[in-house]
Structure 1
């Protein structure tokens, strides 16, 4: 794997690399195992070669030459030191290296070293990292200054073959001048670069006679049992425990947890002692290197590389429009599983880009992207179909019937629809056209309007079929509108049939007709491939499709979402928010929807509803405390606790259950159940007692549960076959009995992810915010679930992490420039390279660092939009193949930088 950690000032960098060993004085962490080595073309220009010394490291970290001369503006303590790129071998490689004889061990270490060098050379030759011009917006390739340290142990003294490659914030440009680096593209390319390193390593090991097997996106050496790699994973287990405690996940979080959990590195025993210890531990688990060699001798030959079309399909599984890095990543992952190195990857990328299925796209700003011709055709076919059928009238309900339906709705519900809602009803019932669209902001009463539309369609003799991307959304559509609903996947399965794992063919069980109206709720979450399938069935049958959603909320998990484009042509809009009861809360929700996070957040700040914690455990505790208070006042079914990631939700669930137990709200004896994934695979055990909150993870006909349903356990029923769970479901208010021996797709449900919360309405909400998944869309969903109140809890730790990769806002940037120029710095690009650097420099000058104090980073993240991109946002440009993309792997990066500079 590859991890990237930013280091701020030279003092911070040295504080990370140099720590005090008790009673022994300073110890260079990197040099503790082996001396560092200089790499990169920029080192030669500085006269650096061979072993890295502390003095030379500090000079480079301060932006100075070894003789102390400043190489860049802002050289000194405030200069950003650089970035640590850590390349780590897969666990099975470290295990073999740990127990191999000295000759074999050296060969494995050399293969790792060669792979790291190839990855670094690829970066240096292919990425325009050096900044130039006003604001540093122009970029060019340059010679880098890199200090590399190969290590073989973790802090827990487990075998862990890895190399720290510290890329100093220095680069010698083609004209001999020096500048700082802009490394955001390294972050963007991180997964692809990690796969390229692993492929080079796999190729080197394959050449030594080892058999390589796929291990997810990584690889493993055949013949190394999991028991051995687990035995040698003490350090990883420490980090994972810290992540679980904090409720965070992701590469950045892992780096923070690794730093926080590291103990002072004890004196490392000599290598012979360590390898003898590791060999004994491996033998205790029944493993020797001979097992790997024996497995290699009997291992089947690697399968051939997937076809270019297959690789392209893999690269576009979740994104309709991809960049070159996605192709490189897909190819590199496939190559490493077959022991193929960088040359083979480059050639395969060339074949993918030259494949007829690969289509080159160009954006309005000249940026180059790629897609498949199939996706390109699908998205345009959906648009063409809607336009071609825009004049159809056989679905239109006469005006009198619609008026009667609206009046009946008012009579039965006891309140009239708003003018916007009534207009939306007429738009989807009385207007011509086979595809009708309703855009409704969160909490505007879309389901109520669909209830009136259902009455009109039914009165006109039309059949109404409801569906949504998830079971919970389908249940919400049915409850709010009265339209019988199911998941979109189950509807397509019924329309298309399927072949099961045993090879049995199940023919279609349903078909659409020209008298059908298919209502799709949460249509913004439907990916392009799925939408195209539905539209084909509707076109063939002459059915009407009504798409209802909000493209400002979370988008499709799959590739693309044409809903935004369909809505842009002809749609009814419902904008008046009805969910939030207080006017200020409605105003805040509208601001969040518009991406005006600062304005929206100010409403919550004024009312003391935003809380900052020092770290994640404190934030989790604060969120749970606020949740518990709301539960006491409003009830568990009307209180929602949310976070962006599964890891954060797991931490909240654990803390909330501990709080329930401490408060005496878990009653009687508890039972432990083995939970399962949807495919039946074991997913860990959870304790369940009366008072617990549970979350259903799969639809179930027998109990009526929908995926995403929340419920409260009322009691346990003990039978001869084991404990059964009697729970009351929030959605229906009904009590059901669950037999865990039959249905175990359950989790604790005190907290849910933002995706699971979309479509939910409760009285009160508590949001654990500020993580890596924060965006305008996720924030909008989180802050629009409540009727009465919502609170935000964020951590300073997360805000600091976010600041590493965010650019300063314009007001902050102007303040930095003005102050820097007043102090004699004409072009302070070193200071304005990132939000974190700008804040650190301002703080050093004794100046306020942000307009909204510590919340500035959170505001930036909350307002950053991450919409689903489709091929409809681009223009096709033949031919697909571009040699620059193959040669460097990063074509378009420099062009994008120049576009950003207004060139």
Structure 2
């Protein structure tokens, strides 16, 4: 159950909602159109909007922010002409630094959608009563979720930089309920059943002060995730009460629960829009990054993948028969029986608790479960994150229960951004953490300062650079219990580790490497000779730390904080030194993390500074600028021909053709993308190029786990560790091992040879179907730590700086960015393409993905106190000046008031320079006397005289030049 947020621009951006409305009953029943939208929200009532949404009203309100009843102007009975009433400031597009036009945001399309099984129950049941019950439960749950969102995000902000929160009088919402996902191909077949409601929340709200302003968009995005969970929890409760359905979590996955008993095959069959989902996911995450300044967590990404099923650029297609009949015709008789059985024959209307692992409110079990989930996602959180987990876990999930439990658990958290200034504090946005996280971070950071006696003589090889030699000495003769070594991609970590291994072995001391994956550990072993194990194996007791020796943690930036803390404590107890190797500029932990950046700032930390991987000297320097988020480096890559602009629909062809050219020249190449789905699609295209070029042999299976067929000669990747498939070198088949197919045995097993060692394997059909993918393209996580001849990375509007950096540092000889230049705004816009170099620079500076530790968040909050306090002081002075002027202005001569029209923001700016009413009165008198009011420039002369008079009385306080950024909002006429 999810809620997505899309942006609707002023002008005609809203039309993708109104054009879906059916023009006749026949269109509605055949799926060619939807029911009209309805007005909802307290703000809509303020504007006199109710009932069905009219297209003209939408055009006025969502196109130009004009109150519909005044659109076009109205002649009053008195004969006076009433002009259009605009809510807040008038619509005016702005020009970006790169010259493209950014249209104002008219509304936020918050879309609520249930689990797939709920849509299938509604679509496939033979009982009309069940269909009606599902629709009613959906509508009621949307209303509850909007109530939550209105309470927490229905406000605006005022003051320079939005320093002050102003509560609002309610959302204005045009709500449209749709029944289907968009069809894969226009005109082919009715889209898959997918109930969802688009709630177009107008980007204007009336504040409690009576003024209309834009919404606080950050609050909308911050709470949308939780609103989706509130929607889902309420829907589960209603369907259980009214239909007796129960809930399960397929494969134990979080966060999506499904109706128990619904055939899983149906969910797959009615989810056909893979390409559209991927493209829409790109846009949703790009918008998320823009607002939050960071990447979504693993759980938030999972929600976005569900959200992306709701959007597409293709219009919905119609049919020739009734929707439900067509959908039922695609199912077998036994599947339809299972659908009807999912609804209890005799629903227990008194049943309130929802099945599916929900936990009683106000219980220690619920508290522990919520904190466990939070720890699995981040080092800090807000009340919105807590609300999401509470809604997903609490039994009897009414809105009141969710709000109460959220506040109860928030009170158990440790505030990282304590703010006692009640007038300006925003407790909903304030970051929190737990004592568990803070204590774990403190122990690791303290251990980095602790000394140890476990040292050995350093043996530095002659070929080592100065930075590598310094790292070897730190890991051998250094006296830190926890030693951090960081460095950019291609800095020669492996060469350095060989000397470390030689030094410890020569001293008869044991060294163990812990890696995130068995495949990564095997690479370390092959390159350095050091024994390597997975961190997971150590955690379950399969590996002991070397007493009196050294344990090296590879890719430490990706290791969760709680795991690092556990490791450090165990190492201390066994007198084992800990070495943390990694790069905080690359991908971080999927759980609570961010510590490596803090550890790298310690005086004892060592940094590898020289980049050695790349053949070209310029690329070594450029990669370091890339790592430092320097946007100007885009010009260097563009000048060298390393940036290729492409449209989204052409990106697959562009990148695969470039990869194929490398392959023809016998260069090992890799394509780096952000999702498994994208990797599968690109790998399939690469395979087709190889097949057409007669570089592949016979087909050996029709489909592997990514949906692609396999041929002799294909390069594949195994995705699950197993001991059941013995290799010729008597080692396990590991996740992310890379193989080339050589044939198929008589019993159907696929024969392959390893590309990284001398080994062969026979893969069973079952393993191939479930755990083998083509390896021509891979995700960022799969590419990190890998080195090839050439690399190609697809840069989308959501690609992060870390992903860009990893993707552009895989190849020794050449690395190319294939930059998607369209899709940087809402899908319905047509604002032109973004220059490829600018889009690449955007990705380089999109730094939100590196998780920050709780300690870093708290330090940032404290260091920002002077700027924050100055902004609040300026705001208080400005508001006081406005209030004083509002009292004084009626006392001024009419000619003075008339002359000051259009200059009052300058007047307020001058008056805000002092807090003394007496000084203001004196300054106004002097300015009036010194101004010639018969001149056309009288207003400006008065304002300047006022500013000159008050300037000496500021007594060192900074002037308040920010007022004109408020002007129309703070000073009403």
TM over 0.5: yes
> Structure 1's 121 and 898: CA in aligned 2 closer, same or farther, altered over 3 A?
farther
Q: Secondary structure at the match of 1:794?
A: strand
Query: Aligned equivalents of 1:444 and 1:766: distance in 2?
Result: 20
1:310 equivalent in structure 2:
369
Say which of 848, 852, 868 aligns to 1:869: 852
> Structure 1's 50 and 178: CA in aligned 2 closer, same or farther, altered over 3 A?
same
**2:280–2:311: 8 Å Cα contact kept in structure 1?**
no
TM-score w.r.t. the length of structure 1 is 0.79
Query: Aligned equivalents of 1:765 and 1:283: distance in 2?
Result: 47
For 1:519-668, what aligned pairs fall within 5 Å after superposition?
519-569=552-602, 570-596=604-630, 598-616=631-649, 618-635=650-667, 638-668=668-698
User: 1:693 and 2:675 equivalent?
Assistant: no
2:954 equivalent in structure 1:
none
Query: Aligned equivalents of 2:872 and 2:794: distance in 1?
Result: 36
1:64 equivalent in structure 2:
66
> Structure 1's 448 and 742: CA in aligned 2 closer, same or farther, altered over 3 A?
farther
User: Which deviates further from its counterpart, 287-296 or 710-719?
Assistant: 287-296
**2:248–2:257: 8 Å Cα contact kept in structure 1?**
yes
Query: Aligned equivalents of 1:718 and 1:448: distance in 2?
Result: 41
2:917 equivalent in structure 1:
none
Q: Secondary structure at the match of 1:642?
A: strand
Q: Secondary structure at the match of 1:309?
A: helix
Q: Once the two structures are superposed, what CA deviation does each residue of 1:36-89 show, in whole Å capped at 9, x if it has no partner?
A: 221122222222222221111111111111213222323378543312222223
**2:736–2:782: 8 Å Cα contact kept in structure 1?**
no
Query: Aligned equivalents of 2:383 and 2:22: distance in 1?
Result: 45
2:39 equivalent in structure 1:
38
User: 1:513 and 2:547 equivalent?
Assistant: yes
For 1:40-439, what aligned pairs fall within 5 Å after superposition?
40-61=41-62, 62-66=64-68, 67-68=70-71, 69=84, 70-75=86-91, 79-98=104-123, 99=125, 105-134=131-160, 138-142=164-168, 143-153=170-180, 156=190, 159-215=193-249, 216-226=254-264, 233=270, 236-237=271-272, 239-240=273-274, 242-243=276-277, 260=312, 262-263=314-315, 265-266=317-318, 274=323, 284=333, 285-286=336-337, 289=340, 292-294=343-345, 302=355, 304-305=359-360, 306-335=365-394, 338=395, 340-355=397-412, 358-362=413-417, 368-388=430-450, 390=451, 392-393=452-453, 395-398=454-457, 402=458, 405-406=459-460, 409-410=461-462, 416-439=463-486
Query: Aligned equivalents of 1:487 and 1:321: distance in 2?
Result: 27
Alpha-carbon deviation of 1:202?
A: 2.1
Q: Secondary structure at the match of 1:867?
A: coil
Query: Aligned equivalents of 1:626 and 1:901: distance in 2?
Result: 56
TM-score w.r.t. the length of structure 2 is 0.73
Query: Aligned equivalents of 1:157 and 1:688: distance in 2?
Result: 30
Structure having the higher Rg: 2
Q: Secondary structure at the match of 1:294?
A: coil
**1:478–1:484: 8 Å Cα contact kept in structure 2?**
yes
Q: Once the two structures are superposed, what CA deviation does each residue of 1:643-686 show, in whole Å capped at 9, x if it has no partner?
A: 1111211111111111111111111352357x6xxxxxxx4665
Greater fraction of residues in strand: 1
**2:154–2:171: 8 Å Cα contact kept in structure 1?**
no
2:13 equivalent in structure 1:
12
**1:436–1:546: 8 Å Cα contact kept in structure 2?**
yes
User: Which deviates further from its counterpart, 699-708 or 623-632?
Assistant: 699-708
Q: Once the two structures are superposed, what CA deviation does each residue of 1:147-182 show, in whole Å capped at 9, x if it has no partner?
A: 112344555266543322111222111121112234
> Structure 1's 2 and 898: CA in aligned 2 closer, same or farther, altered over 3 A?
farther
Using CA pairs under 8 Å that are at least 6 residues apart, name the structure with larger relative contact order, 1 or 2: 1
Root mean square deviation of aligned Cα: 3.9
Q: Once the two structures are superposed, what CA deviation does each residue of 1:433-472 show, in whole Å capped at 9, x if it has no partner?
A: 3222212221111221121122222222211212222223
Q: Once the two structures are superposed, what CA deviation does each residue of 1:311-358 show, in whole Å capped at 9, x if it has no partner?
A: 1111221212222222111111124xx452212212222332244xx3
**1:361–1:369: 8 Å Cα contact kept in structure 2?**
yes
Query: Aligned equivalents of 1:722 and 1:279: distance in 2?
Result: 36
**1:519–1:547: 8 Å Cα contact kept in structure 2?**
yes
Aligned length: 786
> Structure 1's 368 and 453: CA in aligned 2 closer, same or farther, altered over 3 A?
same
Alpha-carbon deviation of 1:864?
A: 1.9
